[in-house]
Amino acid sequence: MTTPETLIASSDPASKVNLLGLSRAQMEGFFSQLGEKRFRAEQVMKWIHHHGVRDFEQMTNLGRSLRERLEQVATIAPPEIADQQDSADGTRKWAIRVAGGALVEAVLIPEGDRATLCVSSQVGCSLDCKFCSTGKQGFQRDLTSAEIIGQVWLAIDSYDGWQSGKGRVVTNVVMMGMGEPLLNFDNVVAAMDLMTDDLAYGLSKRKVTLSTSGVVPALDQLAEFSDVSLAVSLHAPNDAVRDQIVPINRRYPIADLLASARRYIDAQPDKKRVVTIEYTLLAGVNDQPEHARELCELLEDYPCKINLIPFNDFPNSGFKRPSGNAVSRFWQVLVDAGFIVTVRTTRGDDIDAACGQLVGDVVDRTRRAARYRERYAASGVSAANMEELHH
């Protein structure tokens, strides 16, 4: 983990520290490095995260000399909203420009008195899950903690939500956007610290969820640093199927992943915690009653709830959404076996904001996007369709 001392010491003297992404410990370390009392961290965090203030001059409980010093060495810089789309169902999606010009996406899904923000952790994704449009773009880089928490800040700011204090526009956050959160461990943990810190957004640990495709070594470390809720992107009842659609399974198979997830929740003081099992239903691939029965056997006596996600199509995906009857049959097998099961309602698909559809603008370091384009061209896919996929 990055310590406050190394964070400040490693900063380029010619650059300013972005206070937006600093956890409480890092913020206290920052002010200690300036020779200030640590309570200054509390004051500045409240200005940033409770009131949406970016201008040090507006922080009226700081002395003028400190405000002038902060102007010299620090900044409060969220990423930039490049585009905003609003769905007919109330879902709002932002294309957010981060350092270097790449675009990532964040989605706010309102439902009754709740509003869940889906947050990205990387520019692209290196894992290449076969049914996810983000994976088709390849991978560029990790997001900084400021770029991650900045998505929460921007969502609140977009609705002018600062007046009520603590920005109650966002009630839940899921780390389920672009990227694999556990491959950006330090920055994601720092951002989640801010999400749950009363000096920032004050969300319950139950209302912040990290979703992983199965980076077992990082998951084994997570309990040392965080106590947020955990979701596992399983998507298959056996290794043979999962190897084909979630390639990381070849390194960390299902048994290892489920054992690691159980260790995580067992390490939490709240003994009622369960793992959310995410299962995307792909027609003819993993959606048959025999798959459901196999999933029941796999998860027998496992502390979990299951979230079924009918596949949301995107251009040239190679997969199809199962029929409503197929989803119902699969659901019924699980319910009859005694599992708590929900079927995720598709939200925001008219603006490509549904699960698995997020596509940003990635300078691909892996050449995966180029390989997909070559493959589509060889199969006769039109240039227009390829352009639609990648933009």
Q: Which residues are identified as catalytic?
A: 105, 355
**Around Cβ 110, how many Cβ atoms within 10 Å?**
16
Task: Specify the 3-state DSSP secondary structure of 385.
Answer: helix
Burial of 384 (0-12, 13-18, 19+ CB in 10 A): exposed
DSSP-assigned beta bridge partners for residue 342: 307
Strands 275-281 and 304-310 come out as parallel
Contact 67, 57 (CB under 8 A): yes
Q: If phi over 0 gives left and psi between -120 and 50 gives alpha, with beta otherwise, what is residue 30? A: alpha
- The CA distances from residue 13 to 19, 72, 202, in Å, are 15, 11, 32
Contact 228, 270 (CB under 8 A): no
Contact 293, 332 (CB under 8 A): no
Pair of tokens at residue 160: 């002018």
Pair of tokens at residue 279: 């299962």
Amino acid occupying residue 273 = R
Contact 281, 310 (CB under 8 A): yes
